[in-house]
A and B are shown apart, each in its own frame.
Chain A
Amino acid sequence: MIAFENVAHGYGGGALLGEVTLTLAPGSFHFLTGPSGAGKTTFLKLCYGELAPDAGRITLFGQPLGAMSRDDLARQRRRIGIVHQDCQFIDHLALAENVALPLIVAGRAPDKAEMSELLAWVGLSRHADALPPSLSGGERQRAALARAVMMSPDVVLADEPTGNLDWEMSLRLLTLLVELNRMGKAVVIATHDLNLIRAAKAQVAARVLRIKDQRLQLAGADL
Chain B
Amino acid sequence: MSALLARIAALLGGDARADRVVPPSGATAWLTLFTAAAMAFLAVFALALALATGRLADRWSGALAATATVRISAPAEQMAVQTRRVLDILAVTPGVASARALDPAETQRLLEPWFGPGLPVDSLPIPQLIEVSETPEGIDPEGLRLRLVAEAPGALLDDHRRWRRPLVAAADRIRMLGLLSLLLIGGATAAMITLAARAALAANDRVIRVLRLIGARDAYIARAFVRRFTLRAVVGAVAGTAAGMVAVALLPAAADEGGFLTGLGFQGMGWLWPLAIPPLAGIVAFWATRVAALGELRKVQ
Contact = CB atoms under 8 A, between A and B. Distances in A.
A49 interface: yes
Contacts of B209: 88
Interface stretch (A31-39, A99-107, A171-179): A99-107
A104 B217 CA distance: 12
Contacts of A93: 20-21
Contact of A84 (B24, B213, B215, B298): B213
Nearest to B20: A93
A52 B215 CA distance: 17
B218 interface: yes
Contact of A51 (B206, B210, B301): B301
Contact of A88 (B20, B23, B210): B210
Contact of B215 (A51, A89, A151): A151
Contacts of B220: 105, 107
B207 interface: yes
Nearest to A92: B23
Contacts of B207: 90
A77 B206 CA distance: 18
Contacts of B206: 88, 90
Interface in A171-223: none
Contacts of B219: 71
B173 interface: no
B162 interface: no
B214 A147 contact: yes
B164 interface: no
B215 A78 contact: yes
A15 interface: no
Interface in B184-232: 206-207, 209-220
Residue with the greatest number of chain B CB neighbours at <10 A, chosen from A49, A74, A78, A101:
A74
Chain B interface secondary structure, helix, strand, loop or mixed? helix
Interface in A58-117: 70-71, 73-78, 82, 84, 88-93, 101-102, 104-107
B21 A102 contact: no
Interface residues of B, number: 22
A96 B215 CA distance: 18
B218 A70 contact: yes
Contact of B213 (A70, A82, A151): A82
B21 A90 contact: yes
A74 B217 contact: yes
Given A50-B301, A105-B220, A90 B210 contact: yes
Interface string B7-36: 000000000011011011000000000000
A73 B212 CA distance: 10
B239 to A, nearest CB: 28
Nearest to A82: B213
A150 B23 CA distance: 23
Contact of A105 (B23, B24, B211, B301): B211
Contacts of B21: 90, 93, 101, 104-105
A170 B18 CA distance: 34
Interface of A: 48-52, 70-71, 73-78, 82, 84, 88-93, 101-102, 104-107, 147, 151
Given A82-B213, A90-B206, 7 more contacts: A50-B301, A70-B217, A74-B215, A78-B215, A90-B21, A105-B211, A105-B214
Q: A-B pairs with the 9 shortest C-beta distances?
A: A105-B216, A78-B215, A77-B215, A102-B214, A92-B23, A74-B217, A88-B210, A50-B301, A71-B217
26 contacts: A48-B213, A49-B301, A52-B301, A70-B217, A70-B218, A71-B218, A73-B301, A74-B212, A74-B216, A74-B217, A75-B215, A76-B215, A78-B214, A82-B214, A84-B213, A90-B211, A92-B23, A93-B20, A101-B211, A102-B215, A105-B211, A105-B214, A105-B220, A106-B215, A147-B214, A151-B215
